[in-house]
Structure 1
Amino acid sequence: MSIVRYLTHPQVQIDPDVPVPQWGLSPIGRARTEALAQASWLARTTQVISSGERKAIETAEIIAIRLGIMIEIREAMHENDRSATGFLKPAEFEQVADQFFAEPHLSVRGWERAIDAQARIVREAEAVLARNRPGDILFVGHGGVGTLLFCHTAGCPIDRVHDQPAGGGNLFAFARDGRQVVHGWRRMEEVAA
């Protein structure tokens, strides 16, 4: 059985003067990813597919180098488009994110609608899965669209109750055949073989 995993990038270097898609991993995020790259459960991974955002690419590259494979970048796997507001301070960001998930058919403060972001991430994942290559697949991306993909795969309505735990660096897994969820969000340090 081939397993598909969706990993969110861990902690980033926050810089309000730099567009969010260009943020890179923080030293903590990099260290967490380097430790994860040693995990035995990654051994069957034959494809590492990354969002085009810098933090996701950096996460994917650390893992792919360890596995001896190239990453594939899919630009449309980016996080939900929040460019209308740019950087928001944490408390304000959380309020807007709550609205984003609570009202998926509405554009909250100009953000991409959750239903549109979900359709996009599902389309990208399904395009990769349709190739039907042997081995496990690791998608590396973001918490918002990752949660939307999880909701779709689990057959749940869009709801922030299904969001990853705080801090990033979490993953969920599902079987490629049948798309059954193997496990929900777990911190990457807690995933066993």
Structure 2
Amino acid sequence: MQIVFIRHGQPEREWNTDKVADPGLSELGKWQSERLADWLEHEPIDHIISSTKRRAVETVEPLAARLGMEIELEEDFTEIDRNSKVYLPTELLATEGGEYFEAIRAQEYAAIGWDTPEEFHKRVMAAFERLCEAQSGQHIVVACHGGVINRVVSEVVAASERIYMQVAYSGICRVWVEGDRRVLMSMNETGHCCATRTEVTGFMRDGLISGPQY
């Protein structure tokens, strides 16, 4: 089974006082979601799953519409900041985050609506293992977040929990699952943002005929 993890497209910013932040995509993010659909609609996708956050759902809505598929929501694939009243794109935190960014640096997680890193890791990996065990298809798309992808990839490659890999907005990371084996196939594909595609050839076509060569 191939799991295609996608980081959401570029989102808007949101700074609330009375409710959890849940911004949708920016205009660039919407463009990225359309390019992603252009790219992935040629692959034999069986299921589309998304975190419950708008920025993730909106990233795969164009793909789901083209394929005539429903999007299944999975709360445990949401980001570490799932209960925060603030959302700033990652690249703006240091320059525009102010007290919010200082609270992150001070690890004051409860005060800003974050899970602890330990809680976050546990729930993300539980969702990943449930998906692996369900074997609900051969080619599954999961729209989620940079932190979620980092947790999964770190576990797959048996790296330290401190590992950090920059995943681009709408970047694609592929994981192959075969029994108890989990293999990282690709990391941060962004070809859909600068190229067109009319078909797929070779291994990326599907995971049914042949798996990755170890």
1:112 aligned to 2:112?
Answer: no
Distance 1:24 1:131, change over 3 A: same
Aligned length: 182
1:39 aligned to 2:39?
Answer: yes
Structure 2 partner of 1:52:
52
Distance in 2 between residues matched to 1:85 and 1:24, nearest whole Å: 14
Alignment of 1:128-139 (within 5 A): 128-139=131-142
Q: Indicate the larger mover: 32-41 or 130-139.
A: 32-41
Distance in 1 between residues matched to 2:163 and 2:101, nearest whole Å: 11
Q: What one-letter code is carried by the residue in structure 1 that aligns with 2:76?
A: A
Distance 1:38 1:85, change over 3 A: closer
Q: Indicate the larger mover: 49-58 or 60-69.
A: 60-69
Distance 1:83 1:40, change over 3 A: closer
Alignment of 1:69-108 (within 5 A): 69-81=69-81, 83=83, 86-87=86-87, 90-91=93-94, 92=97, 108=107
**5+ unaligned residues in a row in structure 2: which ranges?**
205-214
Distance 1:120 1:188, change over 3 A: farther
RMSD: 2.8
Distance 1:181 1:96, change over 3 A: farther
User: By how many angstroms is 1:87 displaced?
Assistant: 4.4
Distance in 2 between residues matched to 1:58 and 1:38, nearest whole Å: 15
Structure 2 partner of 1:13:
12
User: By how many angstroms is 1:162 displaced?
Assistant: 2.4
Distance in 1 between residues matched to 2:39 and 2:58, nearest whole Å: 17
Distance in 2 between residues matched to 1:171 and 1:29, nearest whole Å: 14
TM-score (norm 2): 0.73
Distance in 1 between residues matched to 2:21 and 2:156, nearest whole Å: 25
Q: What one-letter code is carried by the residue in structure 2 that aligns with 1:143?
A: G
Structure 2 partner of 1:147:
150
Deviations 1:151-192 (A, max 9, x none): 112211122432324xx2112111121211001223262698
Distance 1:90 1:59, change over 3 A: same
Distance 1:84 1:68, change over 3 A: closer
